[in-house]
Every structure is written in structure tokens, then in C-alpha cells.
A and B are shown apart, each in its own frame.
Chain A
Amino acid sequence: MPAWALGGAGVATLLVVVELVPRLGIVDARYLPPTSQILGALAERLGRAELWTALGQTLTTWFTGLAIALVAGVVLGVVIGSVPWLRAVTASTIEFLRPVPSVALIPVAILLYGTGMASTLLLVVYASFWQVLVQVLSGVQDVDPVASDTARSYRFSPLTRIRTLVWPTTLPYAMTGLRLAASVALILTVTGELLIGTPGIGRLLGVAQSSGAVASMYAYVVVAGLLGVAVNLVARALERRTLFWHPSVRGEAAA
């Protein structure tokens, strides 16, 4: 059996199990409605503007936060990584700030920005920035010393050096950082919507929860999951596209 057929069988199994478990009374249907009801609720929601507006809001927050984190992470990473003393001075601070959980900022964000998009953006940017920065820093460090010395003997200007030497080495790392940051940013976007109340899918889920609409809750979880799958797929496709020249991708295609 080909892999896609097996995968399809796996998905079908999940759908059937979720249909049967509540129907057979193994789990209370008030807690886990059968697949047909979840999909019914989903189909009904898909016909409403509310879901699409929320999806747009979630994507806007996610994309804005990710873009800010990406630009800031790449610029700071290249600058800090290229200047040895700057790197040495900032290392301990970066190591300390990176593991600080971004959800610690939720109360601060609420006090500063209320429940608008800016609150959630703060969480998203903080969480995804470190993913990008750390990857870019290790990328800059990975520049081939011989190529680096060659660039120096040819007296490359700093800008040429960054464009032709540092950037191509760093790009694969930056793409890894982007891929990690994309899914972290989605997690924090939904978290912000759920806890702070920023408009989006997460808030719809929160509303469904407080009104006891269980099938709708599951429908929104499915939407959030599909959104996550889409984000992963896009990030991976982007990575492959940007790095088509890189041995890791070329090797994969040949294998």
C-alpha cells in the first residue's frame, strides 16, 4: 500500500473512532461529540462571515508579529554575530532572556495595551524573536574561516562581505529559525486571543466554551489545527524554495 493511502487510512481511523466512542457511550457525548456533529458544526461555521473574519484577524496578528520578529532577529543577529566583542558582551543577556517564558508578559501586556492586537503582538514578537535570533547567530558563526580570510584579503567592504559571504551561510539557519518561529508565533497568537481576548479564532473558542457549545469548540480546535498544518507546510515549502541551491535541499531531491 502506498504511503498516502496508509495516511488516509490513519485519518479515516481517527474520524471513525471519534464517531464511535461517544455513540457507544464510552465517553460522554456532552464532552466529546461524534465526528458527524463536529464536522456539521464546522460546516455551519464555514458558511458564516464570523469565522472568516476571525481567521483573517488571527492571520494578521500572526503575520505581523512574525514579520517584526524576523526582521529584528535577522538584523540584530547579523550585526551581533559579525562583531566579536558585541557577541561576547551580549551572550549572557541573550542566554538569560531567551528562556523567559513569553506568557509571563501577559499581565504586563494587558496593563500596557489593554485587550487589543498590540497585547498579543507583544507576546508573539517576544517568543518568535529569540527563535530567529539564536539561529541567525549560529549561522553567522558558521561562516567558513577560509572564505572569511579570502574575503578579507580581497578587502571586501563590510556590506559586500555580509551580502556575499555571511548571508548565504546564514540563510539556511535563518530559514530554520523562521520555521520554528512560525509555529511558536501561532501558538502565542491563539494564546493571546484565548486569554487576553484579542479578536480571532482563539476568542471564538473562548466564547464557545463559556456558552457551552461543545461541538463548536471542537470545530474551532479543528480550524486551529488545520491552520497550524498550513503554517507548517508553507514554512517548509518556503524553506525548500529559498534554499534550492543548498546541498541539504539538493541532496533531498536527488535521494
Chain B
Amino acid sequence: MSGPAPAVRAGAGVGRVLRSGLLVLGLPAVLLTAWWVLTDGSTSYFNPPLRTIVGTFGETWFGSPFAESRFVQDVIPSVLRLLAGYGIALVAGIVLGVAIGSSRALRAYAEPVLEFFRAIPPPVMVPILMLFLGIGTSMKIVVIATGCLWPILLNTVEGVRGLDPVLRDTARAYRLGRVATVRHLVLRGASPQIVTGARQALSIGIILMVISEMFAAKDGLGFSIVQFQRSFAIPEMWSGVILLGVVGVLLSLVFRAVTNAVLSWYLGYRQSQHGGA
């Protein structure tokens, strides 16, 4: 293929970057501007101007001294609890899922019970767990872990069950040890399904992080937002809603980066199967 002259191509490259930048930022910019302009003269109590919300944002969350700001006192503990609960669910879900998925009898035995536990909307477990654990940090971590466990567990079971039998037989024929089989065959082969479960679990985890703090807490992002709402500090409440949204988006970006690294072999494989589509 004879491409265009280099100078032209460079120009087209710059144009393309500009164009994609415009595509990515265009609509958000329009929406934010619309919000800003439409609410600018707003005197509505519940719907303060975006200017006011942005104005209170820094002071509300990053007030000085930094070590005593709400960001350090509330946001970071929330996120750490989320990560702790999510991590527990991830480990427990994968270990149990591999065990249950590898045995047909165990799967048949456990499946109806697991389906039932998965179907319980996780927020209803909060009042139950409060009985056992009070309202402290451990309750919140356990709430997040029990909510995140089911999607990871059941997807791992599905993934292990769906392993290519030829690969399984090959591993057996080569007399791969138990540990090596689990590591190279089972976990690898089930990882696309595990990631699907982990993604569902992450959004449930964020929901539970907030809910567990709305019930009863002394600190945390969800707690702060509810406190603002109850004391009718409306601009501060809006700034909390926005911050919570940003936390959700950041976590999903991190999740995507991690899964792209974990699943790079799979994505490449699928791309080759689909003819580069």
C-alpha cells in the first residue's frame, strides 16, 4: 500500500487526535455548561447553582489541615473498607468456586442453596449482620464481602464447569500436578468468567459501601452525604454526590486496567478469532 506523503499523514494525525479529543470531551463539556448556565441564576433551595457546588467542593472535602479533612477522615476509610471486603470476597469466591465447580456432585448439592443466597438482595443483609457485628468497621467489611461473594462465586463455578474437556484431558495426559492444573488450566480458563463476576461484584460493593454507612456510622463517604442531607447543607450534599460518582468512575477505570492486564492473552485470542474485528 502506498500511503499519502508523510507531511499529509502527520497533518491527518493531528486532525485525528483533535477530532477524537472533541468526541470524548464534547458532550460532557456541553452538558456541564448547560448545568452551569441553567442553574446559574437558580435561587431554588434544592437545586443550587453549579458554581456554588464547585465552590464548596474543595473546602468541604479537602479543607485544611489536610490530615483532618473529610477526604482523609471519611473518603479513604470508605474506600479501604470497600477494598478489604472486596478482596475477601474475591479470594473466598474463587477458592470456593474452583472447589465447587470441579466436582459435579458438590455442584448439584450446593447449587440451589447458592442460587438462593445470590438472589437475596444484599442490602437486606445489613440489619442481620448488624445484630452480630454491631455497627463498626467489621460489620461494613463483612456486608461488602457477603454481597460481593455470590456473583464471583457463581461465575467462577460456571467458568470452571465450562472448561474445555480436551484441555482437561491434555493436562491429565501430561500428568500435570494438582497445583499446576489449577494454576495453569482451571484459573486461566475460568478467568474471563471470573472477571465478569468480579465486575458485577464491584458495582454491588460500591452500593454496599454507601448503604452500610447510611444505616449507622460515624464516618465515611455515605455517612457524610446523608449528614449533609439531614442538616440541609444542600451544596455540600451535591458535592458529595459528585465525589461519590467520581470514586465509582475511578474504581471502574482501575478495574478495567487490571482486567486488561490479567486477560491480555484472552483478548488477543478473541481478537484473532474474530478476524481482528
Are A and B subunits of one complex?
Answer: yes
Residues of A within 8 A of B (CB): 1, 3, 6-11, 13-14, 30-32, 88-93, 96, 98-108, 110-112, 180, 183, 186-187, 189-191, 194-195, 202, 205-206, 209, 214, 217-218, 220-221, 224-229, 231-232
Name the interface size band of chain B.
35 or more
Q: Which residues of A contact B128 (CB under 8 A)?
A: 217-218, 221
What are the residues of chain B within 8 A of A13 when measuring CB–CB?
Answer: 109, 113
CA distance A160 to B15 in the complex (A): 36
With the chains together, A112 CA to B245 CA distance in Å? 19
Q: Which residue of A lies closest to B46 (CB)?
A: A111
**By the criterion CB–CB under 8 Å, are B206 and A101 in contact?**
yes
Q: Which of B28, B117, B241, B251 contacts A105, CB < 8 Å?
A: B241
Whether the pair B229, A190 counts as a contact (CB closer than 8 A) is no
Judge whether B105 and A229 touch: CB under 8 Å: no
Q: Are B252 and A99 closer than 8 Å at their CB atoms?
A: yes
| Separation of A135 and B111 alpha carbons in the complex (Å) | 27
Residues of chain A within 8 A of B24, CB atoms compared: 91-92
- A-B residue pairs in contact (CB < 8 Å), sample of 22: A10-B112, A11-B116, A13-B109, A31-B132, A89-B23, A92-B28, A93-B31, A100-B248, A101-B207, A101-B248, A103-B207, A103-B211, A104-B248, A105-B241, A106-B214, A107-B240, A107-B241, A108-B241, A111-B229, A194-B126, A209-B130, A226-B116
Q: Of B109, B110, B226, B251, which contacts A107 at CB under 8 A? A: B226
Majority DSSP secondary structure for residues of A touching B: helix
Give the residues in chain B near A1, CB-CB below 8 Å: 105, 108
Q: How far is the CB of B7 from chain A (nearest CB, A)?
A: 27
**Nearest-CB residue, chain A, relative to B210:** A103
Q: Which residues of A contact B105 (CB under 8 A)?
A: 1, 6
CA distance A98 to B113 in the complex (A): 31
* Other-chain contact of B121, A10, A105, A107, A224 (Cβ < 8 Å): A224
The answer to whether B241 and A228 have CB atoms under 8 Å apart is no
Q: Is B88 an interface residue (CB 8 A)?
A: no
When distances are taken between beta carbons in the complex, the residues of chain A under 8 Å from B180 are none
Nearest B residue to A30, CB-CB: B131
Q: Is B157 an interface residue (CB 8 A)?
A: no
Known: A104-B245, A111-B234, A195-B211. A93 touches B127 (CB 8 A): no
- Among A7, A90, A205, the one with the most B-chain Cβ atoms within 10 Å of its Cβ is A7
User: Which of A32, A110, A205 contacts B127 (CB under 8 A)?
Assistant: A205
Binary interface encoding of chain B residues 203-225 relative to chain A, with 1 for a CB under 8 A from any of its CBs, else 0: 11011001100110000001001
Taking a contact as CB atoms closer than 8 A, the residue among A6, A10, A92, A221 that contacts B120 in the complex is A221
